[in-house]
Structure 1
Amino acid sequence: MPESFISDFDALVQARPPAQPLVLFETATVLGGSIAGLLAARVLADHARQVVILERDELPARPGARTSTPQDQQVHTLLPAGRLWLERWLPGFTQETLDAGALLSGSEATATLLDGHRQADAGAGFELLGASRHLIEAAIRAKVLALPNVSVRHGRATGLRYTDGVVSGIDYVAEGTSQMLRTDFAVDAMGRPSRLSDWVAAADFDRPQLTRLESPINYTTAVFARADKAPDLPITCALSLFSPGHANAGVSVAAANAIEDDQWIVMLMGYDEARPGRTADEFRKICAGLPSVFATAASGPLTRDIVTYHQAESRRRDFAHLSHFPARLVAVGDAVASFNPIYGQGMSSAALHASCLSAYLIDETDLSVPAISFFERQQVVVDAAWAISAGGDSERLDAARGTDVPEQVAQQRWALQQIMSATLSDPSVAEAFNSVSYMLRHPASLGDPRLIERALAASN
């Protein structure tokens, strides 16, 4: 089974647009203009005569905030898997973001630190795109909306309509008036607040099971002016992880990215009651006690107010095991799974959800039945992100609270700890681990006995 996960995941990462797109729908509708919704619209543009993005917010013409994305002022890093996918579907995306001030961080300029010790250089091949969420989203939005068959309609979705078990319409409110949009296919990209489960349950379809994992995380993020130009910086992207019991001034994870407009964006994250760096003085004092890149990043003047963000839990909805669900209806992005964003997997997960959608539509699946084959593919992506993000949060909370865990879980965690420890000294192990954390490979690939044996040798 793990081998099938690995091969399925590899296929999604390497997927490309169809050579000969097949038009399947007159109208396809995406509920939500987030990154996940925009990427779904890009895929649907190959299969529908018109794609309508129904979005409640006014979409800014230039990089800027949207009221429905409270996390958009935090650190965002586009992982290699997401950037590869975006570059294939939206050619020129990377260069356009670089022209706008984004930075590509290769392995030599990327620092992953475990309890203050830097991971071994994994060699060429890994490049992370550092920029504000506003810049990345604006670049994606501009390229998607430039497609001749994609448009935006402003309104708040309020429900779905069905004909013989198939989605056929979207109810929405625009400028205080209730309206209806006929559609041949619908994608829920409404994020964590999505009410899709309530809508389908009200129509006597199955409600997807919701799994909640307690993960009380608190972010504090500051943006500082950067005196040095990017070429002069030895490190442009840093992630510092502190193991349970080693939190530094309440900081369990810290992240710093050099971004556009000659700025640093720095995030300090604490668990449970820890809320580090809520004032400028406290923020700088904490950074001074972290690896030196954080003190450097926090040395300039603040360019905006410090912002905080709290998330109480990670969530995922299981669509893959429903026996009665509307046809021509799927969900993507945070509407399916949302987890601790500090690991940077949200945007790349959204890209791979879109890859699942493309594979599903290219297969010319029977569209008169629920899209279970889509949800099964998507579950492979969700499982991969969940294993890294939610799995790490769960382990940290279990350790902090002295929770007993099953022996199998304890063994899996022990093996991962050996691998992570070995990344500090063995470049080959670091490369294998980064391939997973950057969403280029499925976490099951870390179960290779040869890798674990090598990690043990490096750690001893």
Structure 2
Amino acid sequence: MWRMSAARRFAVISSSESPKDQKALFRRAVVVGGSVAGLMAARVLSDHAEDVVVIERDDLTALGAGVRPGVPQGNQVHALLPSGQRQLERWFPGFVEEALAEGAVTPPRGTNRFYLDGQLRQDPPSGPAAAQGIVSSRPFLEALIRRRVLAIPNVRPVAGRAEGLLMDGDTVTGVRYVAEGDNTVTGQKADFVVDATGRSSRLGDWLDAYDFPKPPMRRMAIKLNYATALYRRPADPDVWTCISIANPGPGRTARIGGFTPIEGGRWTLLVSGYDADRPGRDADEFRERCVRDFPPEFGEVATKAALEGEVHTYHQADSRRRDFHRLRRFPARLVAAGDAVASFNPVYGQGMTSAMLHASCLSEYLRGDPDLSRPARAYFADVKVVVDAAWQVSTMADLALPHVDGPYPAGYRAIRWASGLIFKASMRDQAVNHRLGQVTTMLAHPSALTSPRFLVRALSIGARA
């Protein structure tokens, strides 16, 4: 039987077209977790279930646009990649217009700067990958998504903590949870369950309790440390956005930093380090790092703009993925989404966008006349396509860090050599730059960089750079 390539499957999943042919499949579906992945899953399920219940420890009905308690990194810089913006507009028509009306920012053209190894990159990205997108804080964006989802008549939140699954043979029939303010374990019946509880998901333990195997987990130790601070932004600055990437090399320490405009007339500024290089919470030390370790635009913001609030730090020990697609036994009517499947080095901004693409994977599965008496293997096959795309981009960059010691993919040396030349070529050639930008912003699958015609062009230009 003919099988669609990963690149073509990725194109289907990441489509901007409004979904069609939704069929009612369930009386009740339950989503465990009310973050971006859970909210997006609830939006998809609302087309297929009479009743969608979102079980979340935080009371979703009482939350505003502030940092949600259940998101420990919610006050850090978050990026919405162009692919994620496309999915938001797909599932919530008019979302971008609404976000802008509420205070999200679109930086004026020509006000963005990008530094690589201390050198200002003169040629801005071109084409769709460079389309002006909305920029905001994570709490602002999540609040808008939450408002749109909870406005759907058949979606309702329940404040509580999930404790396990309900099973009948090899089929999930619901979720056990403890309601907020109660110590009693309650059973919530369901015809379909989505685990969207994040990196710390206990789904493996819940499966083990019923003698199902846990999904194999792959980890890459990245030892990332970063800190974020908010600053008041003047009305019309010369530079609105600045990104700096320093790769490891002679006389260079690997660091990534950036500042972007967000709602409320503010900048959010991030500095990061790896391993023993740990930005702290002290405001003076944060300011010194901006001046000493990053391009002058960082120092301008840190020394001249007014600091709002405290400096917030975050540490992530590893990137990880749970390979559900490799399981031979798995219950029917159960899937996982978002960071419960895979979470990546957050400095590449793939997390929220991946969660939105997982929602589209769920839609593809439910609109494909699934056999609900069997495990959702078609869903996990599509999720693997998304995870592979993000994992390849982020881990290839992380493997260049001196403290990261694998695991290395097959042919790593050749891939790293070719990737280096492609990146050099992107600095000089708009066509190469455009395609590379599509991959890094998750508008295209990484295999788009492996076509013979593209490779010949990119490698020859890169070799001369």
| Alpha-carbon distance between aligned partners in 2 of 1:102 and 1:270, rounded to the nearest angstrom | 28
Question: Structure 2 length as normaliser, TM-score?
Answer: 0.93
CA contact (8 A) 1:107 1:123 kept: no
Counterpart in the other structure of 2:347? 342
- Do the aligned partners of 2:222 and 2:317 also contact (CA within 8 Å) in 1? yes
Correspondences of 1:33-432 after superposition (within 5 Å): 33-59=34-60, 60-105=62-107, 108-119=110-121, 120-125=123-128, 126=130, 127-174=132-179, 175-227=182-234, 229=235, 232-245=236-249, 252-276=255-279, 278-289=281-292, 290-298=294-302, 299-397=304-402, 400=403, 408-432=411-435
Q: Does 1:455 align with 2:458?
A: yes
Partner secondary structure for residue 360 of structure 1: helix
The structural deviation recorded for 1:58 is 2.2
Query: Is residue 280–residue 313 contact of structure 2 (8 Å, CA) maintained in 1?
Result: no
Deviation at 1:105, TM superposition (A): 4.1
Q: Alignment partner of 2:392: what SS?
A: helix
Query: Is the alpha carbon distance of 1:275 and 1:345 closer, same or farther for their aligned partners in structure 2, counting shifts above 3 Å?
Result: same
Letter in 2 for 1:327: A
User: What are the Cα deviations for residues 19-75 of structure 1, in whole angstroms up to 9, with x where unaligned?
Assistant: 342100000000000000000000000000010000011234320122221111111
Instruction: Kindly state the Cα deviation for residue 422 of structure 1 after the two structures are TM-superposed.
Output: 2.0
Alpha-carbon displacement from aligned partner over 1:291-346 (angstroms, at most 9, x marks no partner): 23322332311111001000111110011121111001000000000111111111
8 A contact 1:76–1:130 mirrored in 2? no
Q: Which amino acid aligns with 1:342?
A: V
Q: Distance in 1 between matches of 2:379 and 2:386?
A: 11
User: CA RMSD, aligned part only?
Assistant: 2.1
Deviation at 1:216, TM superposition (A): 0.3
Cα pair distance change 1:327/1:423, threshold 3 Å: same
Alpha-carbon spacing, 1:422–1:3, altered in 2? closer, same or farther (3 Å): farther
Q: Secondary structure at the match of 1:453?
A: helix
The letter for the 2-side match of 1:443 is: P
On the 8 A contact 2:171/2:373 being kept in 1, the answer is: yes
State whether residues 13 and 85 of structure 1, in contact with CA within 8 Å, keep that contact through their aligned partners in structure 2.
yes
Percent identity reads: 44
Q: Provide the C-alpha distance between the structure 1 equivalents of 2:214 and 2:431, rounded to a whole number of angstroms.
A: 44
Instruction: Give the 3 Å change call, closer, same or farther, for CA 285–46 of structure 1 in structure 2.
Output: same
Deviation at residue 427 of structure 1 after TM alignment:
1.8
Q: Helix, strand or coil for the counterpart of 1:305?
A: strand
Describe the shift of the 1:159–1:406 C-alpha distance in structure 2 as closer, same or farther (beyond 3 A): closer
In 2, distance between residues paired with 1:211 and 1:198? 17
Query: More deviation in 405-414 or 342-351?
Result: 405-414
Distance 2:405 2:39 in 1: 43
Equivalent-residue separation in structure 1 for 2:101 and 2:79 (angstroms): 17
Which consecutive residues of structure 1, in runs of 5 or more, have no partner in the other structure? none
Structure 1: how far apart are the matches of 2:389 and 2:112?
Answer: 22
Retained in 1: the 8 A contact 2:53–2:156?
yes
Change (3 A) 1:367 1:350: same
Q: Which runs of 5+ in 2 are unaligned?
A: none
Give yes or no for contact 2:321–2:341 (8 Å, CA) kept in 1.
Answer: yes
Q: Residues of 2 paired with 1:3 and 1:18: CA distance?
A: 20
Q: Deviations over 1:175-211 (max 9, x none)?
A: 2221110000000000011100111111011211011
Map of 1:444 onto structure 2? 447
CA distance in 1, matches of 2:67, 2:329: 38
**Separation in 2 of the partners of 1:234 and 1:449?**
41
Tell me, yes or no, if the aligned pair for 2:30 and 2:174 is still in contact at 8 Å: no
Q: Deviations over 1:409-450 (max 9, x none)?
A: 011011111111222222222111110110000111112233
Moved more, 409-418 or 447-456: 447-456
Quote how far apart the aligned CAs of 1:402 are. Answer: 8.4
Alpha-carbon spacing, 1:58–1:422, altered in 2? closer, same or farther (3 Å): same
Whether the 8 Å CA contact 1:122–1:428 is kept in 2: the answer is no
Partner of 2:24: 23
Q: Give the partner amino acid of 2:311.
A: I
Cα 1:307/1:195, change in 2 over 3 Å: same
**How many corresponding residue pairs?**
454
Contact 1:106 1:124 (8 Å CA) reproduced: no
Alignment CA distance shift 1:16-1:182 (3 Å): farther
Quick one: distance in 2 between partners of 1:88 and 1:234? Answer: 33
SS in 1 for 2:106: strand
